[in-house]
Structure 1
């Protein structure tokens, strides 16, 4: 403990003795920090929460999502997909905007919230960052619309078939009801038995139709879309002035202390015979 105190006192005396070197390095680093903050290109970050679309008529035991969460994450990280996003906005893949988009794109899966995907991307302006995020969601939606087209077509076809069968069954029941008063004896019993079976068939078809309609409703079948509006903070994401000044001050203090100690050591070495 005493050695530590002596060392700190010696270090403090060294800094006082070589204060010019300490201050020079500190001022130099702070000047570089100031120049970097005012010359670096500013970047804003947009955050979007993507809800993966689903078709509610998936077979039992299968994921109703259009695409599994892990596959969507892989798709969003594919360079061809990212290039398609840029083409949607009118940028070629080798432009600075496209490089910034690919470099800054970050994904965070939220499996227990939907699932959802938290997407963040940067732009040179707040509007551009928001457009990058919006274009990414739109491109993913376009891909998923092609994937879900066939299942949705089959689902609506099945609903139309059930509706047609229900109408035919109800027409047959009406005919049986009209025939009830014309028969007698055994014929009446047969008609009533057929009428009971037809009522049961109609009831099952109505249940099937209701189930299909519910699964095709917006609660169970929907497209890939934004869960909430895209968020872009008012302040820039890069360079962060507070963070950069803090780093610059810390680095300046460390380099200044190192320069003072090195200069003191060199002075002592030069004074020895």
Structure 2
């Protein structure tokens, strides 16, 4: 224990007087770099190309799925013709993530979209457009487009949305054609069973065969109503609200740029001063030794 108390610990090389001396000796340099950082920030703001951002929320195309529609769409929903209160439910025709991934390549943009966005090539448009699935809902895509003015950004965002709408409209055509074919088949079967059931009822043939035909006609009529509701459903993509393009520029942000320049100049001045101060202390110790 006695040996521990007798150990001589080195004293700090920097005292309070050194700190005061440091700030008194280098405040002009720190102030100069601080002012230079602010000046460079203002210079960057003057030469940087201003970018404005338009934002939109796009609800992807959807289809109504029932016991008949599920067969077309690949759903595993069970088919029960005797369930009178069967409900239709909407599902995304195409995943928002898949749509967003398509626009990660410049070849995804059509010539009309490139022209509406006022750029020379799809490669120039690629960094200006950002699509990503919404984190709060599974049927919405968040669209953000940057351009040199709010009006140009809004025009470009509308062009991207129109391209998505036309693409899904083309993709829905085979689905609608299959649905129409099934409707015609179901309608023909319904009329055949209903006509036969009516004839048997008029003839007084109310046996089990009549009851089977009547139940089959009722089930087919329910399916036919579901198919018609599915065909009438507005399943194309739509904007949840008009495209929003504020007048405030998105890049560069004036306040953030000035603060960054000031902090960079201040830290640079402190770093240079600290290095010069440490070098001077080292020379003093070397001369003293």
Q: TM-score of the superposition, structure 1-length normalised?
A: 0.78
Aligned residues: 256
| Correspondent of 2:169 among 127, 138, 145 | 145
Is the CA contact (8 Å cut-off) linking 1:42 and 1:239 kept in structure 2?
yes
Is 1:105 aligned to residue 114 of structure 2?
no
**CA shift at 1:266, angstroms?**
7.1
Aligned to 1:116: 140
Partners of 2:60 and 2:151 in 1: how far apart? 24
| Correspondent of 1:258 among 250, 257, 271 | 271
> What are the Cα deviations for residues 7-34 of structure 1, in whole angstroms up to 9, with x where unaligned?
6x63453232233322222222111111
Partners of 2:262 and 2:135 in 1: how far apart? 41
**CA shift at 1:248, angstroms?**
1.2
| Correspondent of 2:206 among 163, 169, 192 | 192
**CA shift at 1:94, angstroms?**
3.5
Change (3 A) 1:104 1:59: same
Partners of 2:193 and 2:138 in 1: how far apart? 40
Partners of 1:214 and 1:122 in 2: how far apart? 40
Aligned to 1:227: 240
Aligned to 1:73: 100
Q: Which stretch of the first structure deviates more once superposed, 163-172 or 135-144?
A: 163-172
> What are the Cα deviations for residues 175-230 of structure 1, in whole angstroms up to 9, with x where unaligned?
4444x2xxxxxxx4xx2235433322221111111222333343xx6112323332
Is the CA contact (8 Å cut-off) linking 2:114 and 2:121 kept in structure 1?
no
Change (3 A) 1:120 1:6: farther
Aligned to 1:135: 159
Return the structure number with greater helix share: 1
| Correspondent of 1:201 among 216, 226, 230 | 216
Aligned to 1:183: none
Change (3 A) 1:257 1:123: same
Q: Which runs of 5+ in 2 are unaligned?
A: 1-10, 78-89
Partners of 1:74 and 1:246 in 2: how far apart? 36
Q: Which stretch of the first structure deviates more once superposed, 74-83 or 84-93?
A: 84-93
| Correspondent of 2:116 among 81, 85, 89 | 89
**CA shift at 1:85, angstroms?**
5.9
Partners of 1:243 and 1:14 in 2: how far apart? 30
Q: Which runs of 5+ in 1 are unaligned?
A: 181-187
Partners of 1:106 and 1:77 in 2: how far apart? 8
Q: Which stretch of the first structure deviates more once superposed, 166-175 or 41-50?
A: 166-175
Is 1:24 aligned to residue 14 of structure 2?
no
Partners of 1:102 and 1:215 in 2: how far apart? 36
